[in-house]
Chains A and B, each alone.
Chain A
Amino acid sequence: MANDTILSVNDLRISFRTVNGIVQAVRGVSFDLHRGETVAIVGESGSGKSVTMKALMGILPPNAFIEEGSILYNGMDLARADEKTMHQIRGKRIGLIFQDPLSALNPIMRVGRQITEVLRKRGLNKAEARARALELIKAVGIPNPERSFSAYPFQFSGGMRQRIVIAIALAGDPEILICDEPTTALDVTVQAKILDLINQIREERGLSVIFITHDLGVVANMADRVNVMYAGKIVEAGTSEEIFLRPVHPYTWALLESMPDLQTRGRLQAIPGAPPNMLAPPQGDAFAPRSRYALKIDYEKEPPTFKLSPTHTAATWLLHPMAPKMEMPASLKERIARMRKEAEKYV
């Protein structure tokens, strides 16, 4: 993995003006994207992962504003860029794949034209654009390119529609691809194929991918590095081995525990309660009210970010030298031991 940073998000804070007051959706998010790698952002709905993505693309809704922080790309700060600059970057440098392919596509425009539209904007003439679009349709694995070129979105299945969306994203020839829950609306077998496709085009084109999802299984499959978000903050970040095999944050523990895998038996460890209301984010550690491991200080003071390795960081008071020693829950420990054992098959 080449270690040069292509995109760097620093202390990003985004809020929304609503009738009820200011909603602090993103509260100080920092992460880097290196060339050629896949970084996942995991979180529940309302954790701020999609808002972060929208800020990168410059498509925040009008009532949102960036309070602080920067998004550095190619020496530019996208958090402060004007519409004209963003227009040069959106689609051309940073591509986006949405969750719901049907609403991302224009229902009354033929698929071919939706792809060539991008190419024509980039200055290709009609014949060139057509040839290139057919290539793209083939590259994303849609059968019968000629016929698909002049078909409408409704004539395709969900998985094929998502392939079309990917083709459109690739038509801009971006170097960063943001995937916002690209497989949530799809069946498992179709999901598997789309994930393979994203991995394949990433390798072929040397893309850097930001993968936004709530599905930890998908993350394990796709990501080199993982950022776990809760209540507008990254609570734990690390390589996927670090997050899945050596997690340290109570929220990451709870998230991993609450999801049944094929070997899970006995009662599921559900996370009690619901995510906090971001109109008035709780003081201290936002996860404390739902955590079995909360300390007194968690309710008073926001935990600093501790560094466990050059890649692994976590924001929890449990890591403070003065904190009582806490171990991860026993059931999670067992599960990780099982995961390691399963992996031995492949050595």
Chain B
Amino acid sequence: MSDVLLHVEHLSHSFVNGHGSRKQVIKAVDDVSFDVHAAETFGLVGESGCGKTTTGRTIIRLYEPSAGKVTFDGREISGPMTRDLRKYLSNNLAMIFQDPIESLNPRMTIEEIVGEGLKLRGVTNKSERHVQVVEMLHRVGLTEEHASRYPHEFSGGQRQRIGIARAMIVHPRMIIADEPVSALDVSIQAQVINLLNDLKQEMGLTILFIAHNLSVVKYFSDRIGVMYYGKLVEVANSDDLYLHPMHPYTRALLSAIPEPNPLTERHRVRIDYDPERDHDYSKEKPEMRDLGNGHSLYCSETEYEKALKELD
């Protein structure tokens, strides 16, 4: 495996509700650690509310980390926000959002939306910006005529292409794609996934792919992390994860994916996950343990022994 590009160590983010005695702290991301290697796609899956989006947003500093450390190419990016760090972040990391309607300013033209990143990067010459914007639009499958239009004139799939162009124009080294296809129709989803794959290959991109659709994540990712209630519970190569899921939650998640095969669907046995029943953490504290071959599992000592035996 190539070198580590993004290193996330004990990252936490809490949301605080209310004040005084009614204060509530919600640990959306709780002590999460993982590595993303250069030029790979790391998938993050889990149910809504499991903290996968918050993890992505905390890495790119849309949210402030409450604990932990994130380094990108050896440089810490979780420290105090300085002008310098802001610049470093926006030069190297970009984000693609889920909702292609809400994430585009309705009062800006596509040229302004896509070119904004260039403007901030000191490309002040308008015609030069235009050339770059048009080139990027071609790359994502749009045309020059689209540049002067407004977001509402586009279909969902096209809007997502605009979002991708906006992220890509600054030539970031890493993209955080937060559910980029879940708002799209099946036939359009495949178009956007293929586009992301092409860009990844052409530009040597590293992608953190956040999604809840496991078939898509499996198809798109080299390695996958499974999150449950703010914790990362299992990380493995995507084939390993599907062939040998070790955490009971991963198994439940896999058993719930409906597959387009009526012959097997009739016989599908779904596994339920109940943390109270499936784990006994009263004596042994769980932690992330390495099972070898890049597979790690959040488990207690006893569970670890059992998992190792099963893998053999």
Q: Interface of A with B (CB < 8 Å)? A: 44-45, 158, 187-193, 195-196, 214-221, 223, 240-241, 244-245, 254-256, 258-262, 264-265, 267-272, 274, 339-340, 342-343, 345-346
Distance (whole angstroms) from the CB of A200 to the closest CB of chain B: 13
Nearest-CB residue, chain A, relative to B216: A260
By the criterion CB–CB under 8 Å, are A267 and B194 in contact? yes
The 8 Å CB contact of B187, one of A240, A258, A261, A342, is A258
Q: How many residues of B contact A (CB 8 A)?
A: 40
* In the complex with contacts A187-B47, A192-B270, A274-B157, A260-B261 CB distance below 8 A: no
* In the complex with contacts A214-B186, A268-B219, A339-B263, A262-B268 CB distance below 8 A: no
A244 to B266, CA, bound (A): 14
* In the complex with contacts A221-B258, A264-B219, A274-B157, A258-B263 CB distance below 8 A: no
Return the 9 tightest CB-CB contacts between A and B, nearest first.
A217-B258, A343-B263, A270-B190, A260-B219, A271-B187, A258-B190, A187-B47, A240-B262, A192-B256
By the criterion CB–CB under 8 Å, are B187 and A254 in contact? yes
By the criterion CB–CB under 8 Å, are B260 and A217 in contact? yes
> What are 24 residue pairs bridging A and B, where the CB atoms are less than 8 Å apart in the complex?
A44-B188, A158-B48, A187-B212, A189-B273, A191-B258, A192-B255, A192-B270, A217-B258, A220-B260, A221-B262, A244-B260, A244-B261, A245-B263, A254-B187, A255-B187, A256-B260, A258-B190, A262-B215, A268-B219, A271-B190, A339-B261, A340-B263, A343-B261, A343-B263
List residues 127-157 of chain B with CB under 8 A from any CB of chain A: 155, 157
Q: A189-B252, A193-B270, A221-B258 are in contact. List 11 more A-B contacts (CB 8 A).
A: A188-B212, A214-B185, A220-B259, A255-B187, A258-B187, A259-B189, A259-B215, A267-B197, A268-B190, A272-B191, A339-B263
* In the complex with contacts A187-B212, A261-B215, A262-B242, A217-B257 CB distance below 8 A: yes
The residue in A192, A241, A256, A261 that gathers the most chain B C-beta atoms within 10 A of its C-beta is A192
* In the complex with contacts A191-B256, A244-B262, A259-B270 CB distance below 8 A: no
Per-position 1/0 for B154-192, Cβ under 8 A of A = 010100000000000000000000000000011111110
By the criterion CB–CB under 8 Å, are A192 and B261 in contact? no
Q: Which residues of B contact A187 (CB under 8 A)?
A: 47-48, 212
List residues 36-54 of chain B with CB under 8 A from any CB of chain A: 47-48
By the criterion CB–CB under 8 Å, are A259 and B185 in contact? no
* In the complex with contacts A189-B273, A220-B258, A268-B219, A342-B264 CB distance below 8 A: yes
Q: Which residues of A contact B266 (CB under 8 A)?
A: 346
Per-position 1/0 for B223-263, Cβ under 8 A of A = 00000000000000000001000000000110111111111
By the criterion CB–CB under 8 Å, are B253 and A188 in contact? yes
* In the complex with contacts A218-B258, A339-B261, A260-B194 CB distance below 8 A: no
A260 to B194, CA, bound (A): 11
A173 to B185, CA, bound (A): 34
Distance (whole angstroms) from the CB of B50 to the closest CB of chain A: 9
By the criterion CB–CB under 8 Å, are B263 and A342 in contact? yes
Nearest-CB residue, chain B, relative to A272: B191
A272 to B264, CA, bound (A): 30
Q: Which residues of B contact A191 (CB under 8 A)?
A: 256, 258
List residues 265-299 of chain B with CB under 8 A from any CB of chain A: 265-268, 270, 273
Q: Which residues of A contact B267 (CB under 8 A)?
A: 346
By the criterion CB–CB under 8 Å, are A241 and B197 in contact? no
A218 to B188, CA, bound (A): 19
* In the complex with contacts A339-B263, A339-B264, A44-B187 CB distance below 8 A: yes
Q: Which residues of B contact A342 (CB under 8 A)?
A: 261, 263-264
A28 to B21, CA, bound (A): 63
